[in-house]
Amino acid sequence: MICSARITDYLRSLEPEGDPLLEEIAGKAKEDFVPIIRKETGSLLKTLVAAANPGSILELGTAVGYSALLMASVMGRGCHITTIEQNERRIQAAKGNFSRAGRDKEITLLEGDAGELIEGLPDGAFDFIFMDGAKGQYIRWLPHVLRLLSPGGMLVSDNVLQDGDILESRFAVERRNRTIHSRMREYLFVLKHTPGLETAVIPIGDGVTVSVKRGALIGAGLRPD
C-alpha cells in the first residue's frame, strides 16, 4: 500500500457510480483473481485520455478488457484502441466484454506476445500508450514503445512502485521478485533521465508514471535490439 488505507478509501468514496457493465466486469475479475487497474488509477487514466484526446491508443496487457473499456468511454470520436494479450482465457473474456459494450469495432485485440507484436507496428503510430503487462518486461519493451509513440504523445505505465517494495534494497524483497524489482528500478531511472521525455511518478494505486515525448529521444538503452 503506497497511500494510507484511509486516503485510498476516501479517494474511492469520491468516485461516482460507474457504468453497470464495467462494474460487473470489475467484480467478475476480482472473483476470478484477474488483476485489473485499481479504481483510483482508472480515474487518472480516464482523465489523461480525455485531456490528451488521442487519435490512436495502444495498450500492452488487455486482461479482460476493463481498462480498454475505461479509455474507450472517454476517447474522442474516431479514436481507435489496439490492445495486446497472450492469455487465451483472458482474450476470450475481453472479446466478449468488448462485444457486450458495443466497442468491438473501436477496439482491436492483437493475440500473442507483446514484445514480438510491437516490433511489427509502425513508428509513431500511437498518440497514447498504456503499459500494463508483465512488469519485468517494461524496460525491454520501452525502446519499441517510444518508437511507436508519436511526437507529443503520452505513455502511462501502471504498477511501477510494487506496493512500495521499489524503495527497498533488492535483498530485502523476496528472491522470486528480485529480477522484476531491479528491472523496474532501471525502467523508472530511464524514464526520468531520457532527454526529450518528461516523466512524473505518481504514488496512487500501485504507482503510475506519466511520460510525454517532447521530441527526438536520446539515451542509452533506447534503441530496439
Domain ranges of the chain: 5-213
Pick the CATH number of 5-213 from 3.40.630.10, 3.40.50.80, 3.40.50.150, 3.20.20.70: 3.40.50.150
Each residue's pLDDT, cut to its tens digit, for the chain (225 residues) gives 566 778 878 888 888 888 999 999 999 999 999 999 999 999 999 999 999 999 999 999 999 999 999 999 999 999 999 999 999 999 999 999 999 999 999 999 999 999 999 999 999 999 999 999 998 899 999 999 999 999 999 999 999 987 545 555 555 556 655 566 778 889 999 999 999 999 999 998 889 999 999 976 755 445 544
pLDDT reported for residue 179: 65
Give the DSSP letter of residue 196. T
Q: Other C-beta atoms within 10 Å of 97: how many?
A: 25
Give the DSSP letter of residue 120. G
pLDDT reported for residue 81: 98
pLDDT reported for residue 167: 54
- Measure the CA–CA gap between 104 and 94, rounded to whole angstroms: 10
Q: Are strands 80-85 and 197-202 parallel, antiparallel or unpaired?
A: unpaired
* Cβ atoms 180, 135 nearer than 8 A: yes
